[in-house]
């Protein structure tokens, strides 16, 4: 067992009353670690299906249904899963309880070098890229956090890595008051999650909180476009480096200016660990886009189909349009999380040949884009919108799914949305044209 699980901090958790809100993977990982440490642990889950999975464990109790104040009675420690707003819970949580994230809990029991990557867009791609470069240059790396394996699972496991490369979200950081990475990366910042955060300032403060406990020997990496604002905030004591897009690195699997910036950020991280430009380029070579992130699905009758279902923000849709060198048939729509749709208009006028909305937020898109000079179509389902866009597309064009929204109006998550897009494209290809 990891030595830190036998530390004084671990012993202080033994016997505490701990409540974990949410029975997703990170919530169950936190509950497992708390139970291992000897805390009296319960998991609260509104979904009966998820609660059923959680109840298979005999190491903690599971409470299913709407959360109630009595469920938190006597709690010393409350772990909120990502996506559970603290404001929704505060009236039920007793004042003596310490509220943290799964990331914060796990971070108490790691001694490895931690690289943390956050930002509105590009987190998963850049986190994965950093890990790939380091691994290809002989480093033992764990990749996880907000993607893949929660950090609590790593803590409970037998594997010992040299470097932990973690994607971290604002949801996690908002409840991680002592989290201290050795290298921290802020990729970018724009309107997002305003259905969760009270305002843009709260969202930014959550992102910047990971820099607060860094020391002068640590490295803080941020976009050059934010330098003036960040320096004005005196946001960290760490050494600071700023990046912007350049042509220093190339990779066909990472199209667009935004990915040039992501590669620059990855370079600064890897340079901190002693790698030079050539070593970084060798690590980048052959990198393929992750699923549903500007993923080229197929080309049929001269029409390219691109799945960018992970585009859940206005800025990510702008980046997707900039990356295309063909005229675009744009598929957009879903649960809007904030931002200015009007900022997309110049690119729509330059690159888009048709707009095909689906699902929720129709009125927001139509109002923002009514002066774009194009017909704007709407269908209740993604499948119908794909058929309409594909049927109107011409050879040499691109049908691009880049919704600028979350997927929860029609789908369980962005992955399901992308899978439905790809399945519908294949079905359309088999139909007589």
Can you give the pLDDT at residue 193?
A: 46
Q: C-alpha angle with apex 59: 57 to 61, nearest 5 degrees?
A: 80
Domain limit, last residue, from 265, 284, 303 = 284
Domain limit, last residue, from 72, 102, 132 = 102
Distances (CA, A) of 181 to 113, 122, 185, 242, 335: 7, 19, 10, 17, 33
Can you give the pLDDT at residue 197?
A: 46
The verdict on whether residue 343 carries a ligand-binding annotation is no
| Alpha-carbon gap, residue 155 to 152, rounded angstroms | 5
Q: C-alpha angle with apex 345: 344 to 350, nearest 5 degrees?
A: 105
Phi, psi at 122, each rounded to 5°: 85, 5
Domain that holds residue 399: 295-430
CATH number of domain containing 166: 3.40.1190.10
The verdict on whether residue 119 carries a ligand-binding annotation is yes
Residue 229 lies in a domain: yes
CA torsion, points 197, 202, 206, 211, in degrees to nearest 10? Answer: 170
| Alpha-carbon gap, residue 18 to 262, rounded angstroms | 38
Cα dihedral across residues 242, 148, 25, 295: positive or negative: positive
CATH number of domain containing 345: 3.90.190.20
Residue 289 lies in a domain: no
Q: Are residues 121 and 186 in the same domain?
A: yes
207 CB-near residues (< 8 Å, 6+ apart):
118, 119, 170, 173, 186, 189
Q: C-alpha angle with apex 290: 284 to 293, nearest 5 degrees?
A: 115
Contact, 10 vs 65, CB < 8 A?
Answer: no
The pTM assigned to this predicted structure is 0.85
Residue 252 lies in a domain: yes
Can you give the pLDDT at residue 1?
A: 52
Per-residue HEC secondary structure of 284-334 comes to: HCCCCCCCCCCEEEEEECCEEEEECCCCCCHHHHHHHHHHCCCCEEEEECC
Mean pLDDT per block of 10 residues along the chain (433 residues) reads 80 96 93 96 86 72 92 97 83 96 97 95 95 98 96 94 95 93 93 53 87 96 95 94 97 93 98 98 94 94 96 93 95 94 96 98 97 96 98 97 97 97 96 78
Can you give the pLDDT at residue 53?
A: 65
Q: C-alpha angle with apex 143: 31 to 59, nearest 5 degrees?
A: 15
Strand partners for 298: 305
Can you give the pLDDT at residue 32?
A: 95
Q: Are residues 266 and 390 in the same domain?
A: no
Q: C-alpha angle with apex 364: 359 to 367, nearest 5 degrees?
A: 125
Residue 290 lies in a domain: no
Contact, 76 vs 57, CB < 8 A?
Answer: no
The verdict on whether residue 123 carries a ligand-binding annotation is yes
| Alpha-carbon gap, residue 165 to 153, rounded angstroms | 14
Residue 36 lies in a domain: yes
Q: Are residues 196 and 327 in the same domain?
A: no
How many domains does one find in the chain?
A: 3
125 CB-near residues (< 8 Å, 6+ apart):
254, 259, 262, 289, 290, 293
Helices (H), 61-147: 86-89, 102-107, 123-136
Closest CA to 25 of 119, 156, 189: 156
Q: Are residues 326 and 414 in the same domain?
A: yes
The verdict on whether residue 120 carries a ligand-binding annotation is yes
| Alpha-carbon gap, residue 185 to 117, rounded angstroms | 5
Domain limit, last residue, from 41, 73, 102 = 102
Can you give the pLDDT at residue 248?
A: 97
């Amino acid at each position: 067992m990891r030595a830190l699980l036998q530390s004084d901090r671990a012993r202080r958790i033994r016997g505490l009353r701990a409540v974990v809100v949410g029975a997703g993977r990170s919530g169950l990982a936190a509950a497992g670690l708390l139970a291992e440490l000897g805390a009296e642990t319960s998991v609260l889950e509104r979904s009966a299906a998820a609660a059923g999975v959680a109840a298979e464990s005999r190491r903690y109790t599971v409470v299913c249904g709407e959360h109630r104040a009595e469920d938190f009675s006597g709690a010393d420690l409350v772990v909120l899963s990502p996506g559970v707003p603290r404001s929704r819970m505060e009236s039920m949580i007793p004042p003596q309880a310490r509220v943290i994230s799964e990331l914060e809990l796990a971070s108490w029991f790691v001694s490895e070098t931690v690289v943390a990557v956050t930002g509105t867009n590009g987190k998963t791609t850049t986190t994965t890229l950093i890990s790939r470069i380091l691994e290809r240059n002989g480093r033992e790396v764990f990749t996880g956090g907000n993607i893949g394996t929660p950090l609590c699972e790593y803590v409970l496991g037998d594997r010992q890595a040299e470097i932990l490369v973690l994607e971290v979200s604002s949801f996690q950081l908002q409840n991680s008051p002592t989290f201290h990475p050795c290298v921290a990366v802020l990729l970018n910042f724009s309107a997002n999650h305003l259905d969760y955060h009270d305002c843009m300032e709260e969202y930014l403060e959550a992102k910047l909180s990971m820099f607060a406990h860094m020391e002068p020997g640590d490295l803080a990496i941020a976009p050059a476009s934010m330098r003036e604002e960040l320096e004005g905030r005196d946001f960290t004591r760490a050494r600071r480096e700023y990046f912007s897009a350049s042509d220093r690195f190339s990779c066909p699997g990472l199209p667009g200016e935004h990915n040039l910036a992501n590669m620059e950020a990855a370079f600064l991280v890897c340079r901190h660990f002693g790698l030079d430009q050539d070593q970084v380029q060798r690590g980048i070579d052959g990198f393929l886009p992750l699923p549903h992130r500007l993923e080229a699905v197929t080309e049929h009758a001269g029409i390219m189909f691109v799945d960018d279902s992970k585009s859940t923000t206005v800025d990510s849709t702008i980046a997707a349009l900039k990356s295309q060198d063909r005229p675009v048939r744009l598929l957009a729509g879903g649960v809007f999380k904030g931002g200015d749709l009007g900022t997309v208009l110049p690119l729509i006028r330059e690159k888009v040949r048709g707009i095909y909305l689906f699902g929720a937020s129709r009125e927001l898109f139509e109002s923002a884009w009514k002066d774009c000079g194009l017909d704007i179509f709407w269908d209740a389902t993604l499948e119908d919108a794909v058929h309409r866009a594909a049927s109107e597309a011409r050879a040499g064009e691109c049908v691009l799914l880049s919704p600028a929204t979350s997927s929860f109006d029609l789908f369980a998550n962005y992955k399901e949305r992308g899978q439905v897009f790809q399945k519908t494209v294949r079905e359309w290809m088999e139909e007589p044209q």
